[in-house]
Structure 1
Amino acid sequence: MLAQAVEHLIKNIVDFPDDVSVKSHENARGELLRVRVNPEDIGRVIGRGGRTANAIRTVIQALSDHKVRVDIMDVRR
């Protein structure tokens, strides 16, 4: 559910929504959501001073009942 929420939020921000993918991984420190976007959209998703990325993380943490980390990277990685 959290991966779908992140994907929905980010697809509405970017210019290339088809390049957005979210993968969920479980590790010892909680859930990790890896978000990949087009390199041209990375600045839009992170936002000025990281404000957009922090807002996305805040919304996802509010939806969750456990520790969730959201990592944003471009599709080249």
Structure 2
Amino acid sequence: VDKPEAVEVNRKVDEMGVLLSVKVDKEDVGKLIGRLGNTAKALRTLLRVVGIKNHARVNLKIEEPEGGTHVPRSQGVDDVVDDLKL
């Protein structure tokens, strides 16, 4: 990211596991997500491995900044199945 001072990570632990919510500057969201979401997928994979080693489910949520222009795409069956895999 170009503005590390704007990065915020919040951790929430409940019976479902650990949720890491990440907020970055609106100009850095694309870098965090990556082309076709590959960077975000890689981060989630790493967190899943860390979670498995620690017997916990770890999820990553990338918070959309104020004034964001993201248009959510509909998930296909393959995306939903991939989300369910450990």
TM-score, structure 2 normalization: 0.67
1:70 aligned to 2:54?
A: no
More helix by share: 1
5+ residue gaps, structure 2, are 68-86
1:17 counterpart residue number:
4
List structure 1 runs of 4+ shifted beyond 6 angstroms: none
Corresponding pairs, count: 64
TM-score, structure 1 normalization: 0.74
Identity of aligned residues (%): 38
5+ residue gaps, structure 1, are 1-13
Higher relative contact order (CA 8 A, sep 6+): 1
State the superposition RMSD in angstroms.
Answer: 1.6
More strand by share: 1
